[in-house]
Structure 1
Amino acid sequence: MNLPIIDLSSPDPLSTAISIRQACIEYGFFYLVNHGVENDLVKAFDESKRFFSLPPGEKMKLARKEFRGYTPQDPTLGLHGDSKESYYIGPMADSASVKLNQWPSEELLENWRPSIEAIYWKLFYCCFCLPQ
């Protein structure tokens, strides 16, 4: 299968959005090029692989509370829902919200939090703080 390649440097954002939607409908995945995320931030994906490779008991120590943390895969959903494992964090701009985020211990995953925070801030800045 050849996955679609979506170029985020396109001057036509509506066309890009339509391409992303179509790729999600037809394939469920796609490649992004010219996304502006530096390679060192992409290491968050390596850290995610480490996290999701942990034994279920370790991940469940961070079970989702207040919409933050780990959500296990739900095999009962089958083709009728989203059956992936997930890990949610929320806004990190104010101290009350930051405290709701859950993080694995540094002893378990030394680079998890710094990697996830780095990509969060990069994507937040790219999406919300740049002039339109």
Structure 2
Amino acid sequence: MELERVQQIASLSKCMDTIPTDYIRSENEQPAVTTFHGVVLEVPVIDLSDPDEGKIVGLISEASREWGIFQVVNHGIPDEVVRKLQQVGKEFFELPLEEKELVAKIPGSQNIEGYGTRLQKEVEGKKGWVDHLFHIIWPPSAINYRFWPKNPPSYRETSEDYAKRLRGVADKMFEYLSKGLGLEPSEMKDGMGGEDLIYMMKINYYPPCPRPDLALGVVAHTDMSGLTILVPNEVPGLQILSNGKYKSVFHRTTVNKEMTRMSWPVFLEPPPEQEIGPIPKLVNEENPPKFKTKKFKDYAYCKLNKLPQ
């Protein structure tokens, strides 16, 4: 029987110096060849406790235009809340495979929620060295607890607490990003669906890889969400709504030979039927639309299947 989960493959590969060919990237993608070893540039760090809101808006706007990624500190989410979130995630992936499969993705479904391995189509058919768990954490009307682990027992309470606190941070981010474009505070969030905005959490699990020089956890990509909040970083992906003024950062994930790596991004996505396009105030004769307006579900389908937008 073919092994599907990377965690299984990794456990059998501990004493080997090779990995299945499906996981070996083409030469122009291999970390050994493509990793930059020069001067390390520091990602902007922004203190949200600064009493000067205008300064915060300016820094976030600049980072979004120039980098497409920034880190926030003093954001108001207690360290203990984040620690508990990480702990229950680790405990889930330490469970026997049979128990993890209880919340597996539904075969053949277009829904990405659940425990799984492959997410999107890759042109060369290569696989990422990663397993993951996807599920919606907000709004309550969109949550399907069929995809939430029952073990560890504190998983639900911990995730709901994090979601509640994260919403406050996300609202401030949208407000600052709107003001940075000269818009009303609510316009960026409203353009994404307002209170119907969907918070999709993904736990990435990258087990040790015998050949980290040949494999990638996640291939280089841009996120399809409007805003991605990653423990502990903020990664905005607001390129369409801002009509190209804010960047959507191109990023990938490498793996480690000795240690397991994990991450907890939350993708803030419009509802499937939401029409997404440049905010009208940001479009004129000198700055015509750079993106088509379309339903988010159609945009997401093209993104996941590597189809032109």
More strand by share: 2
Cross-structure match for 2:204: none
List alignment gaps of at least 5 residues for structure 2: 1-39, 49-54, 120-125, 176-184, 186-309
Q: Structure 1 counterpart of 2:85, which letter? A: A
Give distance in 2, aligned partners of 1:52 and 1:5: 32
SS at match of 1:7: strand
More helix by share: 1
Determine if contact 2:115/2:131 at 8 Å carries over to the other structure: yes
Cross-structure match for 1:113: 156
CA shift in 2, pair 1:16/1:62, >3 Å? same
How many residue pairs get matched? 117
Bigger Cα Rg: 2
Residues 21-50 of structure 1 show CA distances to partners (whole Å, capped at 9, x for unaligned) of 467xxxxxxx65323211231110111111
Determine if contact 2:43/2:69 at 8 Å carries over to the other structure: no
For 1:80-91, what aligned pairs fall within 5 Å after superposition? Answer: 83-90=129-136, 91=138
Determine if contact 1:6/1:20 at 8 Å carries over to the other structure: no
Cross-structure match for 2:78: 38
Determine if contact 1:5/1:33 at 8 Å carries over to the other structure: no
Give distance in 1, aligned partners of 2:167 and 2:135: 13
SS at match of 2:147: coil
For 1:46-85, what aligned pairs fall within 5 Å after superposition? Answer: 46-65=87-106, 66-72=111-117, 76-78=126-128, 83-85=129-131
CA shift in 2, pair 1:50/1:109, >3 Å? same
RMSD over aligned Cα atoms? 3.4
Return the offset for 1:2.
9.8
TM normalised by structure 2 equals 0.31
CA shift in 2, pair 1:128/1:49, >3 Å? same
SS at match of 1:70: strand
Determine if contact 1:8/1:33 at 8 Å carries over to the other structure: yes
TM normalised by structure 1 equals 0.64
Determine if contact 2:116/2:131 at 8 Å carries over to the other structure: yes
List alignment gaps of at least 5 residues for structure 1: 24-30
Give distance in 2, aligned partners of 1:18 and 1:93: 33
Q: Structure 1 counterpart of 2:127, which letter? A: L
